[in-house]
Amino acid sequence: MTRLGSKMPFAQAVEEIWFGEKVQIEESVLRQITYRHGQAAEALARAEAERLETAMTAAPARPKQVLVSADGAFIHLTNGEWREVKTMVVGEFESVWNSKKGEIEVKTRDISYFSRSYRIREFERYALAELHRRGVDNAEEVVAVNDGSEWIQSFADYHIPQAVRILDFRHALDYVVAAGQAVYGENSDAFRRWYQPLPHQLKHKPPQRTIAELCLLSTKAASDDQLAAIDQARRYLQKRAAMIDYPHFQSKGYPIGSGSAESSHKVVVHSRLKQAGMRWAEPHVDPMLTLRNWVCNSRWSAEWSQVAPYYWQQQRQAFRELAKRQRPSGPPITFADVAVRKTSPNKDDLPVITLQENPPSHKPAADHPWRRDIWPTREAWRWN
């Protein structure tokens, strides 16, 4: 039930259980079970990262070339807020000859994910367990292909300062497009003629040539807004000139695109947490993301073998603590503390009941107005 609840909406999971096992499960029960096991899974993942912080062990994996990317996607919460889900992608890449295109392509394989809605410092801390499992510190080469977000660069500084930093090719090209459209207009023929050689130039020529093209474009700016858009793109690329040297990266066999991180939004987040009409309570987001990582990383059996015993251990511990709180704090009660009632009470111990000779009557008195046929007038009923 937990596996189905983490792979599809709860209503569909209930239907699959009925058709597969002929067992009728309430949707609320399936939801509660999934969330409980997800919370146990998240607690185990956090405990593993905290253990590695205090006693780091040698990673068993020794990959040759590792790609690390990160990106964020937003989901809708029940309180109306949009919360960013950060995802780290780790994979091994290699150069493969594509006979159809007649060129060498870089392929990424053995991809694994770590997704949480934590704040950046907390996300950096608890991503340690997945990086350690993949043996990133033992890799011969580590390449970080990302966009220019500050939190992603901070994440790379924290975990993989030795990595080769590469700015995503499509992300860099978007700044060139924005500058050209600001001057020539969107979808104009002049823009198409100006932009046509730039993708090939940025990919196969030194980055200084593309930056020089933006400098020449500034001479054609007709307003301050156009000049500001060009200057923003030029400064952004010039500051990251070492990260957009794509001819050098391709000659080394490095990937220049973060497609694996972009696709992780569809694989991990969108397929389960961002379907039509879905809203999530904040305490349920990270437990569900933990289960989603199990499914997408193909490690369900190994992780479940640890979570099920941990879950029942926590349940037994909770029952013991509840019993302690309900147990009386004083010494145990003995027979000497119990007062035994006499079986044959004396006549003197019986209560004395005094009866009234003339109990009060509840009937109207003889001089009551009702007995004298005096009734309220219509005006009295109206106003009183």
Query: Which 3 state secondary structure label does DSSP give 97?
Result: strand
Q: Does residue 315 have a pLDDT over 60?
A: yes
Alpha-carbon distance values, 162 to 62, 255, 259 (Å):
16, 17, 22
What mean pLDDT value characterizes the chain? 88
Rg of the chain over Cα atoms, rounded to whole angstroms, equals 37
User: Binning pLDDT at 50, 70 and 90, where does residue 382 land?
Assistant: low
3-state class of 94 per DSSP? strand
Residue 341 pLDDT more than 80? no
Tell me the three-class secondary structure of 304-320, residue by residue: HHHHHHHHHHHHHHHHH
pLDDT of residue 313: 84
Confidence of residue 361 (pLDDT cuts 50, 70, 90): low
pLDDT of 16 > 80? The answer is yes
Q: Which tens digits make up the pLDDT trace of 143-185?
A: 999 988 889 999 999 999 999 999 999 999 999 999 999 999 9
Percent residues over pLDDT 70 in the chain: 86
| Amino acid letter, 296 | C
Rounded (5°) CA angle 277-278-283: 155
Given a cut of 50, whether residue 30 has pLDDT beyond it is yes
Beta carbons of 19 and 272 less than 8 angstroms apart? no
Closest CA to 294 of 306, 309, 311: 306
Within the chain, residue ranges assigned H as helices are 2-7, 10-21, 27-54, 120-126, 128-133, 150-159, 169-184, 189-195, 198-204, 207-217, 224-239, 246-251, 259-264, 271-273, 282-296, 300-326, 378-383
**233: closest CA among 222, 247, 244?**
244
Distance (Å, whole) CA 212 – CA 209: 5
Q: What is the mean pLDDT of residues 82-100?
A: 91
> How far from 10 is each of 75, 265, 292, CA to CA, in Å?
18, 20, 14
Percent of the chain with pLDDT over 90: 67
The residue type found at 300 is W
> Which pTM was predicted?
0.79
Amino acid 384: pLDDT:
45
Distance between first and last Cα of the chain = 67
Supply the pLDDT for residue 377. Answer: 59
pLDDT of 171: 94
361 alpha-carbon distance from chain centroid:
75
User: Measured between alpha carbons, how far is 339 from 271 in angstroms, rounded to an integer?
Assistant: 68
pLDDT confidence tier of residue 336, bands split at 50, 70 and 90: low
Question: In the predicted model, what is the mean pLDDT of residues 314-325?
Answer: 82
Instruction: Answer whether residue 236 shows pLDDT above 90.
Output: yes
Q: Which two tokens stand for residue 338?
A: 């119990």
pLDDT of residue 352: 58
Closest among 175, 176, 173, 195 to 257, alpha carbons compared = 173
Q: What is the pLDDT of residue 96?
A: 86
Of 312 and 42, the one with more pLDDT: 42
